[in-house]
Each structure stands twice: as C-alpha cells, then as structure tokens.
Chain A
Amino acid sequence: MFITDIRKEFYEVVANQRVALLVASDVDALCACKILQSLFHCDQIQYTLVPVTGWQDLSTAFLEHREQFRYFVLINCGANVDLLEMLQPEDDSIFFICDTHRPVDVVNVYNDTQIKLLIKQDDDLGVPSYDDIFRDEEDEEGDDSGNESDDGSEPSGKRRRFDEVNIGHYWREILFDYEQYEYHGTSAAMMFFELAWVLTKDTKDMLWWAIIGLTDQWVHDKITHMKYVTDVATMQRHVSRHSHRNEDEENSLSVDCMRISFEYDLRLTLYQHWSLYESICNSCYTSCNFKLWTLNGQKKLQEFLADMGLPLKQVRQKFNCMDMSIKENLRDVIEESSNKYGLKDIRIQTFGVHFGFKNRFFASDMVHATAALLESTDKDGSDSDNFIKALESLSRSNLDRLHSGIDLAKKKLLAIQQTVASCICTNLILSQGPFLYCYLMEGTPDVNLFSKPMALTLLCKYLLKAFVHSTRNKRCKLLPLIMAAPKSVEKGTVIIVGIPPESEISDKKNFFGRAFEKAAESTSSRTLHDHFDTSIIELKMEDRSKFLDALITLLS
C-alpha cells in the first residue's frame, strides 16, 4: 500500500525499532541513504546498512537478516516485483520501500499489511484499480462476456462480442499495458528529504544530498526533462528557504560553512575540476553537437574557441588556474558563442555548493564522482568497499575521497568519449530492424569499465545521442539501442543494456525489460535478470546470437 503520512506511518513506526537498511547501488539511493542515516543518528535509531547490487543480493541480505529484524527499508529496489512472493517473509516482517522503479508491482500496491510504499501517489503511477485486476472469479462470471460460464446457470440471453484478446482477460490486458514499460519516478533522496522536512530536521547537508539524488536522475537520463525542471523548482524553494534561515548567522562566512546556490550553469561536465578544453571535449552535449569524432568537428571546436576569444593556453590549463578575468563572465561568453554555433541550450538549471571558501562543486560533479567510485574497477575493491567509498564521497568531511572520485570520473568520461568516437567511426552500430545494436568486443580499450551497469548505460546514452547526430538515416534516428559488453571473461558472459530512442520529448519509458525476458525464455538462453532495472541483463556469450535473433523476431 502507499503511505500517505510518511511521518506517522513510517518514521514513528520504526522510531524505537532496529531497522535493516537495504540500499541499491545508485547515486540517488546513496543520497537517500545518507539522509536517512542522519535522521536515524539524530533520533538514535539503530540500523544496519546492507548494500545490495541486485535481486540475488537482496534475497541473500534478507535471508541473513530476517531473524534479527522485523523492519526493512528498501531504497531504490523492491517496488517493481512482487516482493512477498520473492522473499517469502514471515507474516510480521514489514517492508518500507522507497524506490524510483516503475511500474510498481500491483501486489505491492494492494498489500495492506506488509508492504508500505514510500512513493508519492501523484507520481504519474497509473496503477490499475483493484477491481479491474483482482476481481473475484464470481464477478468475472457475472460479466456477460462471450464465454459460457461453467456453473451451469442459464446462458445469457444476449452476449457482447469482445476483441479476442479481451475475452475473460480484461485484467490481463490492463496489467499488460501497465507493466510493459519501465521508467522512473521521484528521486528517493527527495522523498527522504521531504520526510526530514516534515520532521523539521532537515539540514543543508540533507538538502544537498536530495539535490544530488535528483541530479543523478538527470545525469543518468532516468527522468523526462519536464520532471527534472519541476523537481528542480521544488528543490530551489528549499534552497532559498535554507539560505534565508542562515543569513545572519556568523558561520555563513566561516571556513566550514556550506552554501548551496541555484545555478543556471553550463552543460560542461566537471569543468571546474578539469580544463575547459577537456571538459568540452568530454561532455556529451558539446561533443555530440560539434561531432568531435570528426575532423570537421575538431575544426569547428577550434573556431568556437576562437570565437569566444579565449586563448588556447588558458583554455587548456586547469580551470582553477585560469585568469580570474576570464572566469568572471565565462558563462555568458560561452553561451553567446554557443548560440552562434547552434548549441542553443548549453545552460541548464542546476545547483552548486561551496564548502568553506575553497571548494566549489556542482551537483553533477558529485554525481559523476560518486558513480565512478561506486563502479570503480579497482582490482582490490569489492562491491561493498566501493559502496562505502562512494558513500564517503558524499560527506563534506571527506573531500579527498570526493576528489579521488572526480579523478575516476574523468577517466570514465574520457573512456566513454573515446569509445563513442571509435564506435561511430568504425560503424559498430548496426541497425537490426527494430533496434540498433552495438557490441563492444573483448579487447576494446577500457572495456572492463563498461562491464558495470551504470557506466555501460551512460555509454549507451552518449553513443545513441552521438549516433543520432551523425547518421543521415531518418528511420534509425527513431530506434532504441541495445549495447552488449563483456561482463566476465572467466564466466563467458556479456552484459546487455537496452535504452529507449533518443528524442527531446522522450518519455524515457523502456520496453526492453519485458522483451529481454521473453527472448531469453523462447530461446532458453542462459540469462541472469538480476539487475533492479529489468532492461539490464547478463547473458552467456554463446547464447548472444540466438537471443538477438529472438529479440528481432519479437520486436519486428
């Protein structure tokens, strides 16, 4: 069931209990987790934090903790499957689920006792009504459908003819419509920030985490532009509320103060921590618009820089070291030239933060850094090590960690950009009819980076954008993209990601989850549908071609 009063129905329920906190591996989940941890610290609520990377992980974590805990809080996992069916918990286990995955499983929605959904009901959910899908059989029979009832009652005098699909399966069709697309709802971090606010325990740190959570959804392209702008406005109100609150306080000028500000900033990734040149080269927006993988694009970039009147020397050196005079109205200068070069929307609503005097970050910097740490391919680090490091990078007391994350993120972005360029230049993106397909072969540079779901998804998104900019085939511009990359050489598996078609007005709804499941089933391919996003799966290398064939048939 949906919780309507998050304070009464959630926070006050767990207040004197021990809570198991099961947190998925994405930046929004980490931010939500940080907020909840702060609240729990504040109220001395005992909890155990368990990072989970997929369904198997979640089941194991539950098994390990089911004895000691009655209350489980699931962050960014659990909503889109029938959780009770999957975990088979005791009758008194209670699950609080704060998850952006949509659609929410109907059984979760209509379970009143054990499943409590911390999900806003105004979140464009479109849940089918209870009566439509859980109607008793007797009710079905009462329907004058074309089918004869089997209870021996007198046949109906008149019968309406339904479409074949419809006969007796009205609920199935409704369920099908409801479940066919996967998408994301309001950020989990924002949900918990709202809780903190309702409890009047919200702090600037929490606000910042909520902003990062939201920004994660934007960076990883999980929500529509409209949704992003709406939620930014919500966050902006909180930001100005907090700025006013601390206006007169002395600490607003101290070394450890924290100032959050709304910014209309450049869509240049990490530019404050890079050189302007490198940022332009490795940002999806500029790279795609200039088509930097072409000679022509490179030339255009040079012209663009010249147009701005920025000396190359300045542009290529660390942003921090650039002349103050250049930095002062840099954004206006860049915007002006961008407009000339057709980059009409190089600026975007976002937020920045100052820690003391020296450290300044944009929300997207944080997302990239934390994501990079979360999916670090460092050989010694386990998943949970990465999780802890990523969590640390969100604390302002651990700026070193953050900076190491930023370094990792730069490497990742460079790798993405180079991979995109090489895929486009060597025509690795093939049109398979119903979708585009790109396979990164073993031995491709940085390929191990892309064995991770978030990195591969980001690559996928950048690649599709680049492809749409580069291809002349109008039909292909409208196609979704499937990417495969080696997952584990020892196990002989590949990771596969499917993303919806690229368009300005895209609703970001993804139908590959269902399609993958069916294709795997019809070919008995050895697949692992373990990721919380159903559009990300693992597959045995040898089964790749039959799986793809089935997918093509299915979607044609």
Chain B
Amino acid sequence: VSSTNAARLNKFKNKGKDVGECRRRRVEVNVELRKAKKDDLMCKRRNVNSCPDEPTSPLQEKSQNAQTSRPWTVSEIVEGVNSNNIETQIQATQAARKLLSRDRNPPIDQMISAGLIPKFVHFLGMTNVPCIQFESAWALTNIASGSSDQTAAVVSGGAIPAFISLVTSTHQHISEQAVWALGNIAGDGSGLRDLVIKHGAVAPLLSVLAVPDLSEIPRDYLRNVTWSISNLCRNKNPSPPMPAIRQMLPTLLRLLHHEDKEVLADTCWAFSYMTDGPNDRIEVVVETGVVPRLVKLLGYGELTITTPSLRAIGNIVTGTDEQTQAVLDAGALAMFPKLLHHNKANIQKEAAWTLSNITAGKDTQIQEVLNAGLIPYLVDLLVRGDYKTQKEAVWAVTNLTSGGTVEQVVYLVQANVLEPLLNLLASKDSKTVLVILDAVNNICTAADKIGETDKLCLMIEECGGLDKIESLQSHENEVVYKAALNLIEKYFSGEEEEVQSVAPETTTDGYAFQISENQSTFNF
C-alpha cells in the first residue's frame, strides 16, 4: 500500500521542484481559486440580475459565502419555488441548481420526488425572467444527466418542447443550456432521441449554426451544440430516422471542417454513429463526399480525433465494394502504417479490424493493401499485438487468403505469416482457432493449385505448426477438432514418405518458399 501511496503522492506533488517553487505553486492554486470563486460569484450576479445585495466587506462576504455554500434542503427549495415572490423563486431555483452541480452526490431523486420538475419546466417558459429560465434549465440539465429513470422524469415533465423553444432564445447562455439539456435527453437512448427529433429539435439546433462562419460562434457554445447534434445521431436499434440524418448531414459536414479539436472529435463521433449500420445508411454518408475529409483526419495526430474517424472509416469499409473503394480512393491506406503501429493498442486493433474488412473485398482491393506495404505490419501485429489486435489481424489474413488470388496468397506466405499465425493456434478462443485453420486451409489450397503443397507442409511442420494442428485433434470443441482432422487428412497424411523425399532438399537454403525464376508458374 505504501509504495502505491508513494507513487500517487509523487504524481500529486512534483518531486524535484525546489521548495519555494512548490510552495509558490500551491499558493498560486489556492489563491487562484479564491479569485475563481470571486469571479464565479460575479458571473452569477451578472446572470442573476435581481439577486440579493452584494456583500460590503470581505468578512461579510465570507459569512455570506458560508451561508450560500450552506446547501439548502430540498424542502426549503420546494417552499421557495412555490412562493409567490419571484425573487424567492429565483433563489430557490439557483439553490437547487447549486445542489445539483456542486455536490458529489447530487440529490436528483429527492428533487424528482419533491415534484420540482414541473415547477422548473414552468420556469423555462418565463421569458420575462431570463435569470430563472437559465437556472431552471441548468437544474433540469443536471437532473437529465442521471439515470434513464431520472431523464425520463424530466421528459414526462414536458421539458422537451420547452427546451426546444429555448434553443432559439436570444440569450445565448440560456440557449446553450437548453441545447445541453436536449443533448442529455437524446443521449439517453434511441427512444428519447427519437422523441426529441419528433418534437422538432433538429431544425432549431441546426439554425443556431446557420451563420456564414462558424468561428463567429463562441467556442463553448459551438461545442455544446455539436455534442448535442452528435447525440441525435447516436445509438442503434433503431438507428435515427433517415430524414433527420439527411437533415443534419450538411451541417455535420461543415463542422468537420472546423478547427476546434473538441468540435472535430464530436463530429467524427457523429459520423461514426451514422456509418454504424446497414449499407444504405453508409451510402447516405458516403454520397456527401465526406470520405476524403475523414481520411485526412485519420492523420490528425490527436487521439480524440483519430479514434472516431478511424471508427467511421472502419464502418464504411464494412459496406459494399464501392463504398470500400471510396475509402481506398481517398488514400486511406497510406495512413495505415502509422495506425497499425500506433502507441495505443486500441488504435492498432481498430486499424487491423478496418484492414480485415478491406481484405474481405475484391482482389484488386487486396492488391492495394499489398501495394501499400501493409502486410509486414499485419504480420508484426500477429507477433506482438495485444490479444484483441491479434484476433483482428488473424481475420485480415484469413479474409485475404479466402478472397485473394494465388499470387497474393503466395506473397503473404513469403512475408512470413505462417509462424506467427500458427503460433496463435495456442489461443484459448475456439473461434480464433477456427479462423486460423481456415486460413491454413486456404493457403494449402493455393499451394495445391501450384503444386507446392509439399513445400508448404514442410514449412508448416518446420515452424511447429503441425504439432499444434495435431494437438487440436483432441480439442474439446468438435468443430475445431474436425477442422484440424480435415487439414491433417488432406495435406499431412502421407507425411512419413514426404519428409524423407524432401529431406535432402532441406540442406540447401532453397527450400524456403522462394519464388522461382519462372514466376508465371506461381511456384513458391
């Protein structure tokens, strides 16, 4: 425990900094906070123009701080919002908002069961008191940020239409809060997402972005709108209604050319959601011509952007050959050396997954993968990728062997795929084992076609693959056992004689599957 403590402590305080410096930094932090608190207070005053008198001295401010930071109880809030005095209602709503935004454990359920939601929704409509609109919108946002039940409570209080009309409020901070709230509601899942769409949220949300230049929009506001729109594209079963998608696409395309990283990230996620589905959904996206931009973002060099853009590209190549071709034509493969060697295992995995879907395509597309020099990277992932990445790489190989030409399979074998591939037969996952056996079978078939079966079998044996395949005959999974048996019967049964007949050759170095001078015969 103490060693981990020490590590955490070290993380917390930079060891090595000199004492004065550290002390200074701590002081800085503290007093910055004091300032932040004061600024915060001022902000609130700005928002809450009819709030109580300002403190006159720091001591009073202190005691007042103490008072305001003394959390109201829920019943005090209930009493406050039910009063006839607008000032009191504002204070109570603000107190509720504070409870919901400051506390570690926001009393969401207590607020709900105290029946506050309809009150707050009512306040949303008080156009002549912007201050209370803002506070109640914030409070409801935070209630909606909770569990599904809690979000549902906000919705059944009638919040969706109220928020939608606030999206176009002339007060930007109110609009922003409404947008945020709608994002939370839509983010709950397909059901509420479609309800938000049905209430007509899409048009007003897009309208706030209908300016000639997106950089006119304040950064945080733009981020919030982007995130909320991305939530409208999110979740499956069912996926969002097609008309809404079509409606949002042009704006999302614009956002994808904005320079803010968070906006880009959320927009990329939106595209990844939209492409996560059947081919007709992919088609709608590809039609917009977004693919080159997505491909460019693959190389953006920020994890927050690489991840979703790679996901989107990966989704697109699950589509038709034509859709896949759009990705290839945009030069996506040139990005893959970097992605396959990315320092995040997750990116390696996703890249391998994407590649596996490309190698599942036409042989011309496989050829593009070969031409991009990606096979050595794939082999390398088989050797040292993490387990999930290895699985995806196995798929990429198997797909290649099943859809590729004999020549392409030969190339693969020459790239030393056999040993790492066969090593993975030790995997505990039967599915992976079967996929590998499938690949071996495909490679053997290819060898058969060019009369190089013997050489191939020797190679498999040399790298210990035969032992592994043989031991799979006692595998608990019957399908695995049968596949292994099948391979052995087909290619390794005459083994004894074969070994002897080939033996002399093994003394030369020519027994490796070198392409002979006469390439046209496809000899290994």
Contacts and interface: CB of A to CB of B under 8 A. Distances in A.
Interface of A: 81-82, 85-86, 107, 110-113, 133-134, 136-137, 144, 148, 150-166, 169-170, 172-173, 175-176, 179-180, 433-435, 475, 478-480, 501, 511, 514-515, 517-518, 521, 529, 554-556
A85 B8 contact: no
Contacts of A517: 27, 31
Contact of B31 (A113, A173, A478, A518): A518
B304 A158 contact: no
A81 B1 CA distance: 23
A252 B379 CA distance: 95
B344 interface: yes
B307 interface: yes
Contacts of B100: 160
A425 B160 CA distance: 69
Interface in B57-111: 57-60, 62, 98, 100-102, 104, 106
Contacts of B392: none
Interface in B28-49: 28-31, 33-34, 36-37, 40, 43
B102 A112 contact: no
A226 to B, nearest CB: 19
B58 A556 contact: yes
Contacts of B33: 165, 169, 172-173, 176
A112 B24 CA distance: 25
B252 to A, nearest CB: 15
A152 B184 contact: no
B145 A144 contact: yes
Contact of A158 (B5, B104, B145): B145
Contact of A157 (B34, B104, B231): B231
Q: Which 6 pairs between the two chains have the least Cβ-Cβ distance?
A: A157-B187, A152-B307, A518-B31, A152-B303, A160-B145, A434-B58
A199 B289 CA distance: 84
A156 B144 CA distance: 13
Contacts of A160: 100-101, 106, 141-142, 145-146
B2 interface: yes
Interface stretch (B9-17, B326-334, B361-369, B421-429): B9-17
A161 B177 CA distance: 9
B145 A159 contact: yes
B13 A107 contact: yes
Interface residues of B, number: 67
A86 B59 contact: no
Nearest to A434: B58
Contact of A112 (B5, B306, B308): B5
Nearest to A148: B262
B36 A164 contact: yes
Interface string B317-350: 0000000000000000000000000001011000
A501 B19 CA distance: 32
A260 B30 CA distance: 46
A514 B30 contact: yes
A172 B27 contact: no
Nearest to B141: A161
A511 B59 CA distance: 10
Interface in B184-212: 184, 187-189
Given A158-B144, A172-B33, A475-B57, A150 B101 contact: no
B31 A155 contact: no
B184 to A, nearest CB: 5
Q: Is the interface of B mostly helix, strand, loop or mixed?
A: helix
Contact of B304 (A133, A148, A176, A434): A148
B230 to A, nearest CB: 7
Contact of B2 (A112, A165, A175, A176): A112
Contacts of B22: 82, 85
Contacts of B438: none
Contacts of B106: 160
A434 B57 contact: yes
A414 B466 CA distance: 103
11 contacts: A111-B6, A158-B183, A158-B188, A160-B146, A161-B142, A166-B101, A175-B30, A180-B34, A475-B56, A478-B57, A518-B31
Given A158-B151, A160-B145, A521-B24, A166 B6 contact: no
A320 B43 CA distance: 66
A380 B27 CA distance: 38
B59 A165 contact: no
A161 B59 contact: no
A151 B1 contact: no
B265 A155 contact: yes
Given A85-B15, A158-B188, A163-B101, 14 more contacts: A82-B13, A110-B5, A111-B6, A155-B265, A157-B189, A164-B40, A165-B40, A166-B101, A180-B34, A478-B59, A514-B27, A514-B30, A518-B30, A521-B28
Contacts of A166: 101-102
A86 B347 CA distance: 43
B388 to A, nearest CB: 15
B37 A165 contact: yes
Contacts of B13: 82, 85, 107
A554 to B, nearest CB: 8
B120 interface: no
Q: Pick the most buried of A152, A172, A433: most chain B CB atoms within 10 A of its CB.
A: A152
Given A107-B9, A107-B12, A165-B36, A555 B58 contact: yes
Given A159-B180, A434-B58, A86 B5 contact: no
Contacts of B236: none
Given A148-B304, A160-B106, A555-B58, A113 B2 contact: yes
B257 interface: no
Nearest to A174: B104
B23 interface: yes
A150 B304 contact: yes
A157 B188 contact: yes
Contacts of B347: 152
Contacts of A175: 29-30
B353 interface: no
A434 B59 contact: yes
B138 interface: yes
Contacts of B58: 434-435, 555-556
B233 to A, nearest CB: 12
Contacts of A162: 101-102
Contacts of A133: 12
Given A517-B31, A518-B27, A154 B269 contact: yes
Nearest to B106: A160
Q: Pick the most buried of B100, B304, B306: most chain A CB atoms within 10 A of its CB.
A: B304
B50 to A, nearest CB: 20
Q: Pick the most buried of A85, A107, A150, A511: most chain B CB atoms within 10 A of its CB.
A: A85
Contacts of B102: 162-163, 166
A172 B29 contact: yes
A134 B12 contact: yes
